[in-house]
Amino acid sequence: MDDNKGLIDQEIKVLDSGFVRLVDFMGSDDSIVEAARVSYGRGTKKRREDRGLIRYLMRHQHTTPFEMVEFKFHVKLPIFIARQWIRHRTANVNEYSGRYSVMEDDFYVPKPEDVKQQSTTNRQGREDSEVDPTVRESFLAFLSTSNRHLYDEYLKAIDSGVAREIARINLPLSLYTQWYWKVDLHNLFHFLKLRLDQHAQAEIREYAK
């Protein structure tokens, strides 16, 4: 796990303007096996080496020792993805504040090939069927123009003296936000299990990857 030191502060691009960046981590493989041996006793070291013990813990879902390792990430993501992500409540989050600061002019616009039809079997997802090209282009143009209009009106309100906390309320869910997300290894595994699943929304799957 010490190899993660080489990943610290590397910005991994996601979607059109997002990223994931590992800021810090605490613990290592040693932290996991030491915690496990408190439970399993002195003889564990003789029965299996560290790697074998970690695999045993994973295989039998003895997950508590994995909570001894933590990761802190800096993430830039669209608000609609943040609202899905925040449902993973077993983490610590500190988000960019639109009350203290002016929100950045940065919106997620999907690629044309990502605009699909509503799934007939999954009420909360899309399927692979292409949307009519005319409809697709009209939708993407609407996103771009409406995002620009709403952001311009937001800045106009701020310049007119409207408080930032109220001026922001009509900004769309496609707006990017940022946060620091600290999670232990056990709950990170749980996040990845759910958000790498093919039933998860495509955009949050990209962050999970």
List, by residue number, the catalytic residues.
Answer: 195
186 touches 63 (CB < 8 A):
yes
Element containing residue 25 per DSSP (H, E): strand 18-26
174 touches 142 (CB < 8 A):
no
What is the biggest distance separating any 2 CA atoms in the chain, rounded to whole angstroms? 72
207 touches 77 (CB < 8 A):
yes
**Measured distance CA(74)–CA(7) in Å, rounded:** 13
| Burial class (CB within 10 angstroms; exposed 0-12, middle 13-18, buried 19+) of 129 | exposed
| Rg of the chain taking only CA atoms, in angstroms | 22
The neighbour count for residue 77, using CB atoms within 10 Å, is 26
